[in-house]
Amino acid sequence: MLEICALASGSNGNCYYIGNEQDAILVDAGISTKQILKRMYDRNLDFRKVKAVLISHEHSDHVRGVRVLTKKLGIPAFFTKETFYAVWGTNQPASYSPFKPGESFQFRSFTIHPFLKNHDASEPCSFRIEHNGISIGVFTDIGQPCENVISHLNQCHALFLETNYDEKMLWEGRYPYYLKRRVASNVGHLSNKQSFDLLTEHAGNQLSHVFLSHLSAENNTPETAYSTIKPLADKFNLLLTSRHDASEVVLIQ
C-alpha cells in the first residue's frame, strides 16, 4: 500500500509525496519548507515519516526548498553528481547522497529506479519508485518521450505525468518566440496531446491513477488539460494537481 500526493505541481514549484505505513520519500523540493510542511499537515501526512528527498534536476522550481528542508528534517537529499554541482549556491545542500541514472538502488523499504530523460538540464532524471511490487512514476519536465520513459511508464500503477501546455495556447500566447520554441522542443515539456498519446500507446494494464502535473499557468488550464485526457477516463482515474495547494491523497494498493 502506498499513499501518494502532489504537494505542489507547476512551473513555480514541484514536490511529490510517496509513502507507506512507516516511511515516505519526496520527489523534488521546489517550494519552501514552510509550504511543504503546511501542505502535508493540510492533508494529514506526517512529516516525521519523510526520510529522504530525490532531486530530478537543478531548475529552481525543483530545488528551491531542498537546502532548508534537509537541514530541518535531518534527511538526505539524493542527486546525481552533475545535478548537485549545477544547483545554484543558496539552494545547494551542504552534502548529498549520490545516485547514477539507470542504476536502481534501495532506500529503506523503497526501490528507486532513476532514469535519464529529455530536458534542458545537466543530468535530468525521472523516477519510478517501487514498494512491495507497486510502482509510482514521477514523470515531468520531459521534452519528448524516450525509450526510458516508455519502459518505466509501462510498469507504473500510478503516475504523476506532465501535461504542461496546450499547443494552441502556447503558440498564440504571450511568450516570446524563443521561449515558445524552448517549451515545445524535444528538451522542453510535454504537451497535453503528447501525454495523451503516451498514455494511449504505452500505459500498462495495471495503471490505475494519473495525476495531470506541471501545468503551465500561461499556456494551459486545468480544464483544458483534463478535456484533452478525458477520453481515457474510462481506463484511468484522472486527477488534477495544483501549484497552490496539495492534491488529494490517493491510496494505491
The pTM assigned to this predicted structure is 0.97
Residue type, 182: R
Q: What is the pLDDT of residues 94-114, one digit of tens each?
A: 999 999 999 999 999 999 999
Determine contact, residues 225/163, Cβ cutoff 8 Å.
yes
Region 76-85: what's the mean pLDDT? 98
The pLDDT of residue 176 is: 97
Q: What is the pLDDT of residues 175-195, one digit of tens each?
A: 999 999 999 999 999 999 999
The pLDDT of residue 107 is: 98
C-alpha cell at 118: 529529455
The pLDDT of residue 150 is: 98
The pLDDT of residue 32 is: 98
The pLDDT of residue 78 is: 98
State which H helix or E strand residue 16 sits in: strand 15-19
The pLDDT of residue 1 is: 92
The pLDDT of residue 104 is: 98
Average pLDDT, the chain: 97
Topology of the domain comprising 2-252: Metallo-beta-lactamase; Chain A (3.60.15)
- The rounded distance, in Å, linking the Cα atoms of 126 and 79 is 12
Q: What is the pLDDT of residues 110-166, one digit of tens each?
A: 999 999 999 999 999 999 999 999 999 999 999 999 999 999 999 999 999 999 999
Q: What is the pLDDT of residues 17-71, one digit of tens each?
A: 999 999 999 999 999 999 999 999 999 999 999 999 999 999 999 999 999 999 9
Among 207, 212, 127, smallest CA distance to 164 is for 212
Among 111, 103, 147, 109, smallest CA distance to 128 is for 111
Domain range annotation of the chain: 2-252
Distant-in-sequence, close-in-space partners of 135: CB < 8 Å, separation ≥ 6: 113, 128, 129, 152, 155, 156, 157
Residue type, 63: V
User: 3-state SS of 56-91?
Assistant: CCCCHHHHCCHHHHHHHHCCCEEECHHHHHHCCHHH
